[in-house]
Chain A
């Protein structure tokens, strides 16, 4: 602070446009860390894996930290978007494309060719990059590393170090800082450490816990109801049962309550790991999301398709599971189908009865979703057996979902395309969880973004930096609150607005959606006249 207060007339040290020396050194350090990983990837022999892994991770972390310090700490607090559209990396320039191709390649190898990363197949020990992570994996969970362990470690590290950068960038904004600390915490604790400790529990014969990130909820963790997962949980004593119950409670009770009170942001911007990566590593790319109305149309179709797919897939998987083990459970497969159908019908009727008007045109999407699901339940009921549903094996349906949605969409496109399509491609176009939460946010939530009367100057900063591609300005310049199912409540639109027009708020549901014809500040009689009409 003291440096900011000093009044300096000195112009002897105008900052250069390129990188400062400190930044170059920091960059070198980070690249050195990455280089070690690369060498390991090419099967270079490292005598002491633990040491080199530590060295690599420490280099990457300190490099990023020093770089961020040099980037932000000597500048005054405030919005730091200078030159965003001039930099190759953040404006779909050459660097952006190279990064995109590299990331996409990494995801393809990770998901489909883990042996190239050195995964030991059929009992062989690991080699290459994955072997480098063995010491850490053994330390945490007692087993050699897998490609998922490597990925999880790098993912968590990325959220932590880029989270630090983000916190510096938004030094003037406590909302931004707190939610970043929150995603860093949930990633490190819930997504990374706790599952590792759980798999350590599995060394005892009493436990057979599947990988379970407690904060990840169905339909995001679409595998929760797979038979290996359910069997695993159910054969792990009270802890396993408690976790399964928690999983079901979080979908049907915890999430609806929190979403009602705070909007979907409690999850998407404060807890979720995909959101966490998008907000930290992906922050330099948020302006690349398309704001076109056509993109919005694609978004609605895609996200509803994924949602319907995931619901049908899950119901089918549970159905065939119950069908296979009819004596184990009080619930029969057919009864389960009927129950699901009834529940959905109830939900649909309530929405149409009470919320028809707020939904407006979107009601069509809801209706289409509903009828497709009910139709498939019906087909399942009539034709489904434990061996075959919709004329294919239930496991193929499940693996198709896992392949197209779980891997290609959320990983390869979702993250690999950050530098091309923006940092929330998956969250916006594909995440079924976001669809469910968004549906609720739109209809039963106290959350909205309030606009500040007539202060908007239509500058467009808010729309440009909305990672979900919402044309925030279109609402703000009309003095209309923003109530959109896709808004993840990141608060960046509010942060970048130069006129203080936007505020994320939880308040009464009444008057949440306000359509203003005439702006506040104009003739009182005119405003009256038009609101009465």
Chain B
């Protein structure tokens, strides 16, 4: 029987395993060094905040794996020998595979800052990181102030986590407004304001210069590059993005760049070796997508696709329209299609923006100003229906159509206030203005 070995029990590896099991009775082994069972990385924050226990983050009960005949192995893969089709571990006998799927995910970026290895300095990615956080910042007695470096999605989650335990947070963000390297200015403003309302000491346009140590090798303070200001703190969270976790492949014949390089079929340069999820780097990016997509659902979709390739027929990874979501403290964010920020947007992309007077809800709609074609939408504080936007994007609707039919796309709970009349009014006013 063919033996499929999967390195990584994150969403991509597990999705692949589940779908291969659905489609075949091949022997499946999933290896991970991080945890016995699959858990949701995205839910780590809720464990620290006390919304859930760690076991709640596990989408399947423990019996699921035996029942579905998926072997789990907790071990660290040290090297991959593709000539002999074997994996080598630090403290276990080698394992042979017939087909190998690499789904080893990401690791937090570190940029060689002075002091980045001190005690009390950490990233937030894995289960051990969560456990370390409980030691470094259990409450505001031990951690009197925390500094977070890097204004991305994980950074803001960490800020929310720490402030749920009343730990004062200073948040260093390189950009001039929160996440405006992705969001258009208006959207970014709304989030920035919201962060400040949550008593986060947000420092914009600020880079980390160095982390200073006390006599015991523990973080004592940080220094800001731009101002030279020294901020005393007991904890530093490094959340300046992630990159593929592929060091263990460096000695192998598998072609890597930033990530494991794959073609559209998720195949590497070596036969019978595939890569999916955060660690895969597309040889040619798909559409406007990045060549490395470190988000939850793309890992899942790659897992679905690779199972087809391995069990039925070769199938390319061809994701449909871009979408994503996040939450900034109390504000939910959803996006469908492409809305570029001012710096990245092509000349023909125009934006319509509406903001509610409570400054907790807004939308930005991107359209082609020459053809009026609808390109994408950012929604803050308003839930929108994925299926509707998928359809509209496929049908190539124009912006007028989208504005006039927004109600159909509403996904807010019943009895919620409706905003589409206000949005339509604002749109018509803006249009008249321009005429």
Contacts and interface: CB of A to CB of B under 8 A. Distances in A.
Contacts of B285: none
A85 B320 contact: no
B334 A520 contact: no
Contacts of A172: 330
B404 interface: no
Enumerate the 4 nearest inter-chain pairs by beta-carbon distance, A residue then B residue, closest first. Answer: A453-B386, A78-B330, A500-B383, A459-B43
A382 interface: no
B46 A459 contact: yes
Contacts of A6: 197
Interface in B8-64: 11, 22, 40, 42-43, 46, 49-53, 56-59, 61
Contact of A521 (B22, B53, B165, B320): B320
B384 to A, nearest CB: 8
B50 A82 contact: yes
Contacts of A16: 166
Of the candidates B325, B359, B412, the one having the most CB atoms from chain A within 10 angstroms of its own CB is B325
A154 interface: no
B414 to A, nearest CB: 5
A311 interface: no
A500 B52 contact: no
Interface string B300-344: 110011001000000111111101011101101010000000000
B198 interface: yes
Contacts of B188: none
A491 B332 contact: no
A293 B62 CA distance: 11
Interface in B272-322: 296-297, 300-301, 304-305, 308, 315-321
Interface string A452-485: 1111011111011000000001100100000000
Interface stretch (A253-261, A348-356, A522-530): A522-530
A499 B301 contact: no
B56 A464 contact: yes
A500 B197 contact: no
Nearest to B139: A17
A523 B330 contact: no
A8 B197 CA distance: 6
A302 interface: no
A328 interface: no
B332 A498 contact: yes
Given A76-B198, A76-B330, A174-B415, A519 B46 contact: no
A526 B50 contact: no
A463 B197 contact: no
B415 A455 contact: no
17 contacts: A10-B199, A76-B198, A77-B330, A84-B51, A173-B413, A174-B417, A175-B414, A454-B300, A454-B301, A455-B334, A458-B42, A458-B296, A459-B43, A463-B56, A491-B414, A500-B332, A518-B304
Given A83-B50, A464-B56, A499 B327 contact: yes
B415 A522 contact: no
B197 A5 contact: yes
A494 B360 CA distance: 19
Contacts of A8: 196-197, 199
B53 A14 contact: no
B407 interface: no
Nearest to A494: B413
A523 B166 contact: no
Contacts of B59: 458, 460, 473-474, 477
B49 A83 contact: yes
B164 interface: yes
Of the candidates B359, B384, B414, the one having the most CB atoms from chain A within 10 angstroms of its own CB is B414
A498 B327 contact: yes
Interface residues of A, number: 66
A500 B325 contact: yes
A377 B168 CA distance: 69
Nearest to A477: B59
B140 interface: yes
Contacts of B129: none
Interface in A69-100: 76-79, 81-87
A521 B413 contact: no
Contacts of B227: none
Contacts of B58: 460
B225 interface: no
Interface string A58-72: 000000000000000
A465 to B, nearest CB: 8
A519 B304 contact: yes
A178 B413 contact: no
B386 A521 contact: yes
A457 B296 contact: yes
A520 to B, nearest CB: 6
Contacts of A473: 59
Given A503-B413, A504-B413, 12 more contacts: A7-B193, A79-B51, A452-B386, A454-B323, A455-B386, A457-B42, A460-B46, A491-B414, A500-B383, A521-B386, A523-B319, A526-B305
Contacts of A477: 59
A458 B38 CA distance: 11
A82 B330 CA distance: 13
A498 B164 CA distance: 16
Interface of B: 11, 22, 40, 42-43, 46, 49-53, 56-59, 61, 139-140, 164-168, 193, 196-199, 201, 296-297, 300-301, 304-305, 308, 315-321, 323, 325-327, 329-330, 332, 334, 358-360, 383-387, 390, 394, 411-417
B301 A521 contact: yes
Contacts of B323: 453-455, 521
A11 interface: yes
A499 B22 CA distance: 28
Contacts of A505: 414
A391 B22 CA distance: 53
Contacts of B385: 452-453
A292 interface: yes
A491 B11 CA distance: 27
A14 B61 CA distance: 39
A468 to B, nearest CB: 16
A15 interface: yes
Contacts of A500: 325, 332, 334, 383-384, 411
Contacts of A292: 61
A234 to B, nearest CB: 41
B258 to A, nearest CB: 24
A298 interface: no
A4 interface: yes
A498 B296 CA distance: 14
A494 B413 CA distance: 7
Of the candidates A14, A455, A477, the one having the most CB atoms from chain B within 10 angstroms of its own CB is A455
A445 B232 CA distance: 60
A411 to B, nearest CB: 29
A519 B297 contact: yes
A21 interface: no
B43 A520 contact: no
Given A460-B56, A500-B334, A519-B300, A175 B416 contact: yes
A83 B59 CA distance: 21
Given A16-B166, A500-B325, A491 B413 contact: yes
Interface string A419-458: 0000000000000000000000000000000001111011
B415 A461 contact: no
Contact of A523 (B46, B50, B57, B317): B317
A70 to B, nearest CB: 16
A293 B167 CA distance: 38
A17 B199 contact: no
B166 A15 contact: yes
Contacts of A76: 197-198, 329-330
A333 B305 CA distance: 65
A17 B163 CA distance: 11
Given A17-B165, A521-B390, A81 B414 contact: no
Contacts of A86: 50
A1 B358 contact: yes
A181 to B, nearest CB: 11
